Amino acid sequence: MGRIARTFDALKATGTPGLVTYVTAGDPDLARTAGILRSLDRAGADVLEVGVPFSDPLADGPVIQRATERALASGTTLRGVLDMVASVRADVKAPIVIFSYANPVLRFGAERFADQARDAGVDGVLILDLPIEEAEEFRGLLAARGIDTILLLSPTTTDLRLRKAAALGSGFLYAISRLGVTGARDAVADGAEEMVRRIRAVSSLPVALGFGISKPEHVREVGRWADAAVVGSALVNVIAEAGASNDLDRRVEEYVRWLKS
Amino acid sequence: MQTVKSGDAVNAVTNVNRPQFGRRDPDARGYFGAYGGRFVPETLVAPIEELEAGYFAARADAAFRAELDRLLTHYVGRPTPLYETSRLVGAALPEVRSPKPGVRIFLKREDLTHTGAHKINNALGQALLAKRMGKRRVVAETGAGQHGVASATACALLGLECRVYMGTEDMRRQALNVVRMQLLGATVHGVESGSRTLKDAINEAMRDWVANVADTYYLLGSALGPHPYPLMVREFQAVIGLEARRQILEQTGRLPDIVVACVGGGSNAMGIFDAFIEDEGVRLIGVEAGGEAIVSGRHAARFAGGSTGVLQGTRTFVLQDDAGNIEATHSISAGLDYAAVGPEHAWLREIGRTEYAYITDAEALDGFQALARNEGIIPALESSHAVAYAMRLARSAADGTTILVNLSGRGDKDVSSVTDALRATGGGQ
C-alpha cells in the first residue's frame, strides 16, 4: 500500500477530515520551499501538493499566476523541484504529490520523469491539462513505479467520465467544487456536497475537495462530505505575504494549524 | 509546372464555391498524425465535447451551411477577387527590363472582405454555431485585433454579447482595432500577464471560459487549441482555397506552381492550402515571422527554432526552453507573434506536403512598401511576410512560374507601426 492510501486509511480510522496543501515550488525559492514543506508537515498537513511552475498556467487564477512568476524568476525547473523533494523526503512523513502542467513533464521526458519522481520519493502525480483520454500511457509509467495518478474531477465532469476516473485514478480523487480558475473565495460552493455524492456513487477512492478554501470553517464544512479539503491559493497568499522574511516557516505553520483547528 | 486535365478543370470551375466539410478530418481524438489532441483541464472536457458534437451536427445541417453561405456572399462579400499583380514582379526583379518577366504573382484578396481580413470567415461560422448551441455570450482572444474585430462584428450581427481579450502590448500597437471592437459593442479586456501578446490573451480567454462554460462560447481565432478547433477553423477558412483554385484555373488555365501564405497560428494558410493538398505538384509554403533574427525571444519561427510540445490544448511545434517553459516571441506583426503553430501544419510538414520559411521584420516592411507602391494595395504586416517571400521566390523562379499569395488582410491597422518602424530605420521616405 502506498503512502497516500495509508494516510487516508489513518484519517478514516480516526474519523477526522484531512487537509491537502498546495504550494508553488520555488516561491520564493526552492530552498525556502523545502522549509515550507517541513513546516506544513509539522503543522499536520496530510498530503503535500508541490506545484511545478509553468510559463502559461491557464487553469490558475491571479494568486498562483503571481507565485508562478516568482518561482520562474528564481530559476525553478522540474529538475530542481525533484531534487528539492528528494532532499526533504526523509524529514517529511506526509505523502508528496507533484502538480504540474503537461509541457514541463513532456519536455523532461515522461519515462525519465517517472523514474526520477520515484527516486525522489514522489507518491502521486497530477497533470492539470492531461485529461483521462491523453493520460493512458503516462498513467502506466507511473503505476509501474508505484506512483499514484491523481485525477481531477469538476462539476462539468459527466457520470461516464466519473466512472472512467474511478477506474483509472489511484491514491485519491481531486474534486473541484466550482467552475473557474484557482483562488480563495468567501464560501465553499453550493454544489460541493452534490459533487462528492456523485463521486461516492461510483468510487471508493478517497475524495479531496478543493477550490476556494481559506478558513477553518471551510475545512470543517468540506470534511462533512469529503475525506479531505484542499487549500491552495490562500496558503500561497500567506507565503507571498511572508515573502523573504525570517518568520515564513512560522507563519505557514500557524496558518495550517489554524485551518485544522 | 502543373497542368490540369480539362475534365478536372471544368469540374473545378463549375463546382459551386461552398465550403466542403468532413473531407479531411483528424482521428477521433483530434490528432493529425502525432499532432493535435485535447490537452485541457478537466472542467473544459465536457464543454469541448459539447462543442465537438455541436459542430459535427451543424456542419451536417444543410440549413446551417446555407445560412453561412448566404452571409459569406452577401455580408462578407465573397468570393473575394483573385488579382494578378502588374508591377510587383518588376519590383522584385529590378534588373529585368523586359515588359513582363515570365513569373506571375496572383493575390487572393482576403483584404477585401468585410472587416478587412480572412478572420471574418471563421468568426461568422463559429458565431452561427454559438447561436445554434444556445450560447448567449462569446469570448475571444485577439493578437492583431482582426479576429477580435471579426468576432465583435459577427456578435453584433447575431445579437451575442462579446468580450475580447487582448494583450496590452498588442492594444498599443493595434490601437485602431481596439476602437473598432468597442464601436461594434464588444468589451475589450486588456491582458497584463506574460508578454502581453496573443498567447497571454488566449490564456485569459480560456480562464474566462472555464469559469462561464454554461452560457459562454469560446470563439478561437486560429487553427490552434484543442480538438475540434484546428479542424473547425480550417473548414471555415477552406472557402479561401476553394475560390482561389477555381479562379486561378479560370484565369490561367492551370494550377499555380507555388502557394504562399503567412503562418501565425496558421488559419489563413490552412484555408488556402486545403484545396491544393491533393494537387501534389503544387508547392505549399508557409511563411513564419523571423522577427529580428532566429535567436531565442527575438522571433516567432516555430519550425526554425522550436520543438514538439503542448501549449494551450494542442501538441505541436512550440518555442520553449529546456525546462518546457514557453519562450517569449517577437514579430513586428502582432498576428504572427505567437509561440505555437497549428497542429495540422506540423503534421503536413512532417509528411512532406508543406514547407516553411521565415521572413524578418525588415523584409516584411520591404514587402509592405513594395505592394503599396507598385500595386496600390496596403497589406497587413502579417500578409506582408507572404508578399516578401513571394518576391524572394520570384527572383529565383524559373520562367513561367505562377505564384499564388494569400493576401490575408489589409494594413490600415498597421499604419502607425509601419510609420514608427520606417522612421526608426530611416527608410520609407
Q: Which residues of chain B have pLDDT under 70?
A: 1-19, 95-101, 427-429
Q: Which residue of A has its CA nearest to B192?
A: A62
Q: Which segments of B22-145 does DSSP mark as H helices, in order?
A: 42-59, 62-71, 88-92, 119-132
pLDDT-above-70 percentage for chain A:
98
Residue B319, chain A, CB below 8 Å: the answer is: no
Q: How far is A65 from chain B (nearest CA, A)?
A: 9
Choose, out of B40, B42, B314, the residue to mutate when testing the contact with A (most A CBs < 10 Å).
B42
What's the pLDDT at B42? Answer: 93
C-alpha cell at B411: 494594413
Mean of all residue pLDDT scores within chain A:
94
Residue B26, chain A, CB below 8 Å: the answer is: no
Give the Cβ contact number of residue B414 at 10 Å.
29
Q: Is the pLDDT of residue A178 over 90?
A: no
Q: Is the pLDDT of residue A242 over 80?
A: yes
Please answer yes or no on whether A106 and B309 come within 8 Å at the CB atom: yes
Q: How far is A69 from chain B (nearest CA, A)?
A: 9
Please answer yes or no on whether B323 and A107 come within 8 Å at the CB atom: yes
What's the pLDDT at B12? Answer: 39
Size of interface A-B (CB pairs under 8 A): 110
- Give the integer Cα–Cα distance in Å for B282 and B298: 32
- Give the integer Cα–Cα distance in Å for A94 and B389: 59
Residue B304, chain A, CB below 8 Å: the answer is: no
Known catalytic residue at B50: no
What's the pLDDT at A182? Answer: 72
What's the pLDDT at B18? Answer: 58
Half-sphere exposure of B32 (CA within 13 A, CB side): 27
Please answer yes or no on whether B42 and A176 come within 8 Å at the CB atom: yes
- Give the integer Cα–Cα distance in Å for A61 and A67: 10
What's the pLDDT at B163? Answer: 98
Mean pLDDT over A123-137 rounds to: 95
Chain B residues with CB-CB distance to A59 below 8 A: 41, 43, 207, 210
Quick one: DSSP state of residue B290?
Answer: E
What's the pLDDT at B427? Answer: 59
Q: Which residue of A has its CA nearest to B315?
A: A103
Quick one: DSSP state of residue B334?
Answer: G
Range of the domain at A248: 3-260
Mean pLDDT over A12-27 rounds to: 96
Chain A residues with CB-CB distance to B36 below 8 A: none
Q: Which residue of B has its CA nearest to A69?
A: B194
Residue A237, chain B, CB below 8 Å: the answer is: no
What's the pLDDT at B195? Answer: 85
Q: Which residue of A has its CA nearest to B48?
A: A156
Q: Which of A57, A134, A180 lies at the smallest CB-CB distance from B39?
A: A134
What is the band of A183 on the pLDDT scale with cuts at 50, 70, 90? Answer: confident
Question: Pick the catalytic residue: A49, A221, A227, A253?
Answer: A49
Which is more confidently placed, B429 or A98?
A: A98
B361 CB-contact burial (10 Å; exposed 0-12 / middle 13-18 / buried 19+): buried
C-alpha cell at B385: 511576410
Q: Which of A58, A158, A176 lies at the smallest CB-CB distance from B312?
A: A58
- Domain of A50: which CATH number? 3.20.20.70
Q: Is the pLDDT of residue A1 over 90?
A: no
**DSSP-derived 3-state class of residue B1:** coil
Please answer yes or no on whether A181 and B310 come within 8 Å at the CB atom: no
How does DSSP assign chain A, residue by residue?
--HHHHHHHHHHHHTPPEEEEEEETTSS-HHHHHHHHHHHHHHT-SEEEEEPP-S--TT--HHHHHHHHHHHHTT--HHHHHHHHHHHGGG--S-EEEEE-HHHHHHH-HHHHHHHHHHHT--EEEETT--GGG-HHHHHHHHTTT-EEPEEE-TT--HHHHHHHHHH--S-EEEE-SSSSS---SS--TTHHHHHHHHHHH--S-EEEESS--SHHHHHHHHTTSSEEEE-HHHHHHHHHHTTSTTHHHHHHHHHHHHT-
- Phi, psi angle pair for A258, to nearest 5°: -65, -45
C-alpha cell at B58: 451543424
Known catalytic residue at B193: no
**DSSP-derived 3-state class of residue B40:** coil
Condensed to tens digits (0 to 9), the pLDDT of residues B277-299 reads: 999 999 999 999 999 999 999 99
Q: Which residue of B has its CA nearest to A153?
A: B42
Q: How far is CA A174 from CA A187, B1, B27, in A?
A: 19, 60, 30
**DSSP-derived 3-state class of residue B23:** coil
- Asked if residues A150 and A169 have their Cβ atoms less than 8 Å apart, the reply is yes
Residue A180, chain B, CB below 8 Å: the answer is: yes
First to last CA, chain B: 40
Dihedral through CA A181, CA A185, CA A189, CA A195, nearest 10?
A: 50
Q: Which of B38, B46, B206 lies at the smallest CB-CB distance from A58?
A: B206
C-alpha cell at B282: 503544387
ipTM: 0.94
Residue B322, chain A, CB below 8 Å: the answer is: yes
Give the number of domains in chain A. Answer: 1
Condensed to tens digits (0 to 9), the pLDDT of residues A22-44 reads: 999 999 999 999 999 999 999 99
Chain B residues with CB-CB distance to A151 below 8 A: 42
Condensed to tens digits (0 to 9), the pLDDT of residues B409-428 reads: 999 999 999 999 999 887 55
Buried b (16+ CB within 10 A) or exposed e, B252-272: eeebbbbbbbbbbbbbbbbbb
B379 cis-preceded (ω within 30 degrees of 0):
no
Residue with cell string 487549441: B225
Known catalytic residue at B296: no
- Give the integer Cα–Cα distance in Å for B191 and B143: 11
What is the band of A192 on the pLDDT scale with cuts at 50, 70, 90? Answer: confident
Residue A108, chain B, CB below 8 Å: the answer is: yes
Residue B296, chain A, CB below 8 Å: the answer is: no
Please answer yes or no on whether A157 and B323 come within 8 Å at the CB atom: no
Chain B residues with CB-CB distance to A156 below 8 A: 42-47, 213
Q: Which of A59, A133, A153 lies at the smallest CB-CB distance from B29?
A: A133
Q: Which residue of B has its CA nearest to A57?
A: B203
- Asked if residues B252 and B401 have their Cβ atoms less than 8 Å apart, the reply is no
